[in-house]
């Protein structure tokens, strides 16, 4: 089964599918069924990370589908990420090696620095090391050194494109000024409640495409606070859902596509996986788009509070 798909053009001449399946917190057979069904429907972008602990399952599904002739590797777009504890040059290369082995791939289509805030690498595979106080054990890493490793891996064709995630404009600019290969993508939390205007403008000037994680407001985030507003239940979103005869999720995804972003909705529910792809052959009117623009700056769901102690955290930029 094939479905319509739209693509975003990157500053290196390559293209990224505008909708991908996010896999954060997804594991085991449920994850494998979701990835298999998504690829069956017409998804072509699968987003994972070493820190998600699910690259093996993702790789098994992709390998099985290619072997069975259901998909061709050239039509797929696989994204993974190097975690905070692997930002030193050799460690970043080791992280990518582990990801490629788990994914059963010779290359990924996009490799990202997961976050700019470094953690201590204890050499035992601990991705979130804690100190004696039970806090994340932080360490400053030179992001230019990390990026140099990324450029090397790009040159070896381990990654067709390279980019960053959860970076602010100042951190991106630091890399941009020295980079031989410019960042092609920024992955970031973005949704109608948190529209990231400064980053959108900054990256637009450099033709860095944006990919939104939690585009529906992170409804399955396990540690959401009771006082957090639920984006999918916002009265304006629900009213547009009724008027367009689309789900609230479809309204929110279409909104971000109209803003020029890629989206990575996450779901293990087959019906929602299908709905999240049905967002291309219709669009919100200009007036309804403006209504959603007015929802901005209400709530951010991923605060990365542990990183506030880190020297790479810019307290002036609530990204």
The residues assigned a catalytic role are: 52
Distance CA 115, CA 164 (A): 7
Distance CA 142, CA 126 (A): 20
């Amino acid at each position: 089964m094939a479905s319509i798909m739209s693509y975003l053009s990157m500053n290196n001449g390559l293209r990224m599918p505008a909708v991908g399946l996010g896999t954060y917190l997804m594991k085991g057979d449920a994850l494998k069924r979701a990835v298999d069904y998504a690829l069956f429907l017409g998804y072509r972008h699968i987003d994972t990370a070493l820190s998600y602990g699910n690259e093996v399952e993702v790789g098994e599904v992709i390998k099985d589908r290619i072997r069975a002739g259901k998909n061709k590797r050239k039509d797929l777009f696989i994204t993974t990420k190097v975690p905070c504890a692997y930002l030193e040059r050799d460690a970043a290369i080791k992280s990518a090696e582990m990801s490629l082995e788990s994914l059963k791939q010779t290359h990924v289509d996009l490799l990202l620095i997961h976050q700019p805030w470094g953690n201590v690498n204890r050499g035992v595979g601990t991705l979130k090391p804690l100190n004696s106080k039970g806090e994340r054990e932080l360490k400053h890493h030179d992001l230019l050194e990390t990026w140099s490793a990324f450029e090397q891996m790009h040159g070896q064709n381990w990654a067709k494109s390279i980019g960053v995630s959860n970076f602010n404009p100042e951190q991106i600019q630091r890399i941009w000024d020295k980079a031989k290969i410019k960042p092609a993508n920024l992955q970031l939390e973005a949704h109608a409640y948190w529209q990231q205007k400064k980053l959108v403008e900054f990256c637009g000037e450099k033709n860095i495409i944006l990919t939104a994680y939690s585009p529906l407001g992170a409804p399955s985030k396990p540690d959401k606070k009771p006082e957090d507003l639920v984006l999918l239940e916002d009265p304006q979103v629900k009213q547009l859902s009724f008027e367009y005869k689309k789900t609230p999720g479809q309204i929110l995804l279409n909104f971000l596509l109209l803003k020029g972003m890629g989206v990575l909705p996450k779901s293990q529910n087959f019906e929602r996986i299908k709905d999240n792809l049905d967002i291309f052959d219709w669009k919100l009117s200009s007036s309804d788009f403006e209504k959603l623009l007015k929802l901005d700056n209400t709530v951010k769901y991923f605060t990365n509070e542990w990183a506030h102690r880190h020297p790479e955290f810019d307290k002036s930029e609530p990204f």
